[in-house]
Structure 1
Amino acid sequence: MFLSVTMYQDALIRPLEVIGEAAGNLSAEFVEKNPAIPVSNMKGMRNLLMHQYFRVDLNLVWQTCVTDIPPIREYLLALVK
């Protein structure tokens, strides 16, 4: 259903843009101390979504949200506990 409903696509794409923007604002020290966080990939995804919108691979967006984001989320939650 994700591939056929623009509202669902937008609901996942915008947060990925925000995540990528936030990743770009992390300090070099934080990035160095936390190599488990794929900062470069996050920034790259943000750039792709922001600047090449009509060439976005929706399957990649879905896979990123389903496969990549959950472990990063868990890692970050563990950091703040």
Structure 2
Amino acid sequence: MLVESELSRHTEASFSRALFLQRATERSLEIISEATRHLPDALIATKPEIAWGEVRGIGNRLRHEYWRVDSGLIWSIVMDDLPALKTAIEDLLRGIEE
């Protein structure tokens, strides 16, 4: 995933100083959030370990409550939450293809 790849070359401190990278990462999270809104509820119910409401909601926060978003939050989402989400989505896609 491009977001993970780009951020792997940074520390949280360097990310906090890279405003353009922050905005690009935020935009990527918005896209991911919006894409999950189009997944059927029955499908995402098969992955209850993912906080789908939060995944779907972060896009709204990034778009409409941007003043409440800081680089630490974005860093945490990418480092702590995105890998599990990526795995869950890959599993869902494999299930659809089979």
Higher helix share: 1
Q: How many residues align?
A: 81
Aligned to 1:30: 43
What does the per-residue CA deviation read over 1:13-63, in whole Å, with 9 as the maximum and x for residues that have no partner?
011101111111111111222212321011121111010112212211100
Aligned to 2:80: 67
Within a 5 Å distance, the mapping from 1:1-81 to structure 2 comes to: 1-81=14-94
Alignment-mate amino acid for residue 65 of structure 1: V
CA RMSD after TM alignment: 1.5
Give the distance between the partners of 2:89 and 2:44, measured in 1 at CA. Answer: 12
2:45 is paired with a residue whose SS is: helix
Bigger mean CA deviation after superposition, 50-59 or 71-80: 71-80
So what's the TM-score if we normalise by structure 1?
A: 0.85
* Structure 2: tracts of 5 or more residues without a match: 1-13
Match of 2:6 in 1: none
Unaligned runs of 5+ in 1: none
Identity %: 31
Q: Residue type matched to 2:79 in 1?
A: V
Asked which structure has the greater CA Rg, the reply is 2
